[in-house]
Amino acid sequence: MKTLALVTSRGSLPIDVDMPLLLKACQTVGLQAQVCDWEDPQVSWGHFDAAVLRSPWNYVEDLPAFLAWCDRVAQRTRLFNPPEVSRWSLDKRYLADLSRHGVPVVPTEFLAPDLPEQASQAALQAFMAGHPQSGEFVIKPTVGAYSRDVQRFPRSAAHQAHRYIVRLQQRGCHVMLQPYLSAIDRDGETNLAFFDGHYSHAIRKSAMLMADGTVHVPTQDLRQARQADAQEQAVAGQALAAAARHLQLQAPLLYARVDLIRDQQGQPRVLELELCEPSLNLPFSDGSALRFAQAIARRVGA
């Protein structure tokens, strides 16, 4: 029986709603799966036939340490998804790469942490001028999870928005600016899950950023099953194909999640591409955990 490490972190495991279903599905397909904390020094990663990144969500606290861990583990066993995928996809500057490949993404401007305040202020003003139909803007660091440090600002609060940009830059963060696409308030966002390059299922996730500054945690009650339409599936597939070309991957990703929202013309655009440790929303689709486990079994030869 092939052995499998399902990688999490101590603090993240209690909120990983996929894990119980995936453990059961792994047993069904003949995989001996064990839940492992990536920070546990007692784990012998080389004893596993493969390791699958599932919920090591505290990586955001020390991304270099997590990426170094990925490199070490990949030398001892097969790591899914591989380190080069995590290194690229855990910093949202990848949106610029997708855009260069022709993928429709949410319009985004990136500001480096060492950009002088006067230059960042000018960049914000130029971005606002370039999106005259947008009454609000989103500012966030390029590395983050679960809406952490994401803020929504009205056009009238440009001064406060710039002060927030500076605060993030002073922490050493690359900062991203995006127009707030109001269709999300009506339609939510669509999160599509893929296994071995094939569409599996989707959910609707309600808007996380409220006009009053409240930021919701994406709990289960803010999600519901949704069937992604043909246009959404096409854009998501385009994004994954672009990622594969950019990273020169020789095989489809074992798992992926593509998050889409509609623009002012109703067209789907990529908000995020989750290729390292995404929640895959397995409780919302019957059979999805089994499909994932079967994809894993094929990769490890079980």
Q: Is 39 a catalytic residue?
A: no
Provide the pLDDT confidence category of residue 43 given band limits of 50, 70 and 90: very high
List the catalytic residue out of 257, 269, 291, 299.
Answer: 257
Stretch 22-47: mean pLDDT, rounded?
A: 98
More confident residue, 185 or 228: 228
Scan for tokens 């972190």, then name that residue: 9
Q: Rounded distance, CA 9 to CA 210, Å?
A: 29
The pLDDT assigned to 149 comes to 87
pLDDT, tens only, 76-93: 999 999 999 999 999 999
To the query of whether residue 72 is one of the catalytic residues in this protein, the response is no
Q: For residue range 205-223, list pLDDT tens digits in order.
A: 876 666 665 665 666 767 8
Per-residue pLDDT tens digits for 44-72: 999 999 999 999 999 999 999 999 999 99
Give every CB contact of residue 44 below 8 A, 6+ residues apart in sequence.
Answer: none
Look at residue 240 in the predicted model and tell me its pLDDT. Answer: 98
Residues 130-183: tens digit of each pLDDT: 999 999 999 999 998 777 789 999 999 999 999 999 999 999 999 999 999 988
- Give all domains of the chain, ordered by start, each with its CATH number: 2-81 (3.40.50.880), 94-104+183-280 (3.30.470.20), 109-179 (3.30.1490.20)
State yes or no: pLDDT of 32 exceeds 90.
Answer: yes
Catalytic member of 54, 223, 226, 262: 223
Residues 6+ apart with CB under 8 A from 137: 127, 128, 131, 152, 153, 155, 161, 177, 178, 179, 180
**Identified catalytic residue from 54, 274, 291, 299:** 274
What is the C-alpha radius of gyration for the chain, rounded to an integer number of angstroms?
A: 19
Residue 263 has pLDDT above 60, yes or no: yes
Name the region of 89 (left: φ>0; alpha: ψ -120 to 50; beta: rest).
alpha
Does the annotation mark 189 as catalytic? no
